[in-house]
């Protein structure tokens, strides 16, 4: 298994060890992390949990898309649904974990990687961090509780980040509420040793620094105005004709129209409920249908398998997706809502 789980000193340490696959989270890794957290919950020797990852390119760039494609493309939709049910249970468990949960997040942090890190109590980013929820580009939606993180971002940044897949640097991530502390990555080994020795998370705040400003705050007012509009069609029609507007339009147009429209609704439902379990329930309503009734298989094919970057979405344009289609994707599944 491409993960190391151990008790060392005062911490329980989880290290993702698939750098060749950008530490993509597999089903077996999900099971192992949950079992470790259950075991450490009442262990007096474990003062805090630390999750980190091998490699410089990514903490984790997402979930195991190859597995999802291999099963769903053969008509086995239950394998993906089982993965999501167990993964989402883990995400909820991390968000409610009674001990400090520290995540050191270098490089790409996306999708499933967000789910095992950014619901924790101490989320550390560095110079190389690139955090995003780009699921619409592969026919999915921001899941693993990501809709709630987006909903809690200031103003309408959540709708913007979720529909465009914008990559946040360390400063952006802190502004958007996806991270708590910037610590230079050269300091992470020493920080880890102190946590092992003491289990005291005060060492994190003591080493935090102010990162260089990112571009997100500069566009905040524009985003708040445009992404408060009710539908994607209205947002797209209102985008300015400048460079930023063109890039934003291109990013939204490149995504699955069904996924982008559902993401807009998911973020708004998550904002209204403000509860991790409610968000995960809504996400599962979509993801459980994403391969059988959505664009997920085609999205993976175009991005990961054939790499032709030319997905053939079920709906040609964002304007073709109706409110009734969104409601159908977000209705209670035939098997009932996920139990968390």
**For 160-209, how does the pLDDT look when each residue is reduced to its tens digit (9 = 90+)?**
999 999 999 999 999 999 999 999 999 999 999 999 999 999 999 999 99
Residue 63: active-site member: yes
Identify the structural domains of the chain with CATH numbers, from first to last: 1-340 (3.90.226.10)
Exactly one of 52, 87, 143, 318 is catalytic; which is it? 143
Please, what's the b/e burial string for 116-129 (b: 16 or more CB within 10 A of its CB; e: otherwise)?
bbbbbbbbbbbebb
Q: How many CB atoms lie within 10 A of CB 212?
A: 9
Cα–Cα distance for residue pair 327/311, rounded to 1 Å: 23
**For 292-331, how does the pLDDT look when each residue is reduced to its tens digit (9 = 90+)?**
999 999 999 999 999 999 999 999 999 999 999 999 999 9
Exactly one of 12, 63, 126, 199 is catalytic; which is it? 63
Q: What is the pLDDT along the chain (340 residues), one digit of tens a residue?
A: 699 999 999 999 999 999 999 999 999 999 999 999 999 999 999 999 999 999 999 999 999 999 999 999 999 999 999 999 999 999 999 999 999 999 999 999 999 999 999 999 999 999 999 999 999 999 999 999 999 999 999 999 999 999 999 999 999 999 999 999 999 999 999 999 999 999 999 999 999 999 988 999 999 999 999 999 999 999 999 999 999 999 999 999 999 999 999 999 999 999 999 999 999 999 999 999 999 999 999 999 999 999 999 999 999 999 999 999 999 999 999 989 999 9
Task: Report which of 158, 331, 129 is spatially closest to residue 228, judged by C-alpha positions.
Answer: 158
Residue 139: active-site member: no
Write down the pLDDT at residue 277. 98
Q: Which residue has the tokens 């789980």?
A: 5
Residue 177: active-site member: no
Write down the pLDDT at residue 1. 65
Supply the pTM of this predicted model.
0.97
Looking from the CA of 43 toward its CB, the CA atoms found within 13 Å total 18
Exactly one of 52, 64, 87, 135 is catalytic; which is it? 135
Residue 76: active-site member: no
Exactly one of 111, 112, 139, 158 is catalytic; which is it? 112
Cα–Cα distance for residue pair 25/17, rounded to 1 Å: 10
């Amino acid at each position: 298994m491409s993960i190391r789980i151990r008790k060392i000193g005062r911490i329980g340490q989880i290290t993702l060890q698939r750098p060749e696959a950008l530490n993509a989270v597999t089903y077996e890794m999900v099971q192992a992390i949950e079992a470790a957290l259950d075991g450490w919950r009442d262990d007096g020797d474990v003062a805090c949990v630390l999750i980190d990852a091998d490699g410089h390119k990514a903490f984790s760039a997402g979930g195991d898309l190859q597995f999802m494609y291999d099963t769903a493309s053969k008509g086995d939709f239950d394998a993906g649904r089982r993965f999501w049910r167990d993964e989402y249970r883990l995400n909820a468990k991390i968000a409610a974990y009674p001990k400090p949960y520290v995540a050191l997040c270098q490089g790409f942090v996306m999708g499933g990687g967000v789910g095992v890190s950014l619901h924790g109590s101490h989320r550390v980013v560095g110079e190389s961090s690139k955090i995003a929820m780009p699921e619409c580009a592969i026919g999915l939606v921001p899941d693993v509780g990501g809709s709630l993180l987006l909903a809690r971002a200031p103003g309408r940044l959540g709708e913007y980040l979720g529909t465009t897949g914008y990559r946040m640097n360390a400063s952006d991530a802190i502004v958007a509420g996806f991270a708590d502390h910037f610590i230079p990555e050269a300091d992470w080994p020493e920080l880890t040793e102190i946590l092992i020795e003491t289990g005291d998370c005060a060492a994190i705040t003591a080493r935090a620094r102010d990162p260089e400003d990112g571009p997100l705050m500069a566009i905040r007012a524009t985003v708040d105005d445009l992404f408060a509009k009710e539908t994607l069609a209205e947002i797209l029609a209102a985008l300015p004709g400048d460079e930023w507007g063109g890039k934003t339009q291109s990013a939204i147009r490149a995504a699955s129209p069904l996924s982008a429209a559902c993401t807009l609704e998911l973020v708004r439902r998550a904002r209204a409920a403000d509860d991790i379990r409610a968000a995960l329930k809504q996400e599962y309503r979509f993801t459980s249908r994403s391969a059988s009734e959505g664009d997920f298989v085609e999205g993976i094919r175009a991005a990961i398998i054939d790499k032709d970057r030319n997905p053939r979405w079920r709906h040609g344009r964002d304007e073709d997706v109706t409110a009734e289609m969104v409601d159908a994707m977000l209705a209670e599944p035939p098997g009932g809502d996920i139990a968390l």
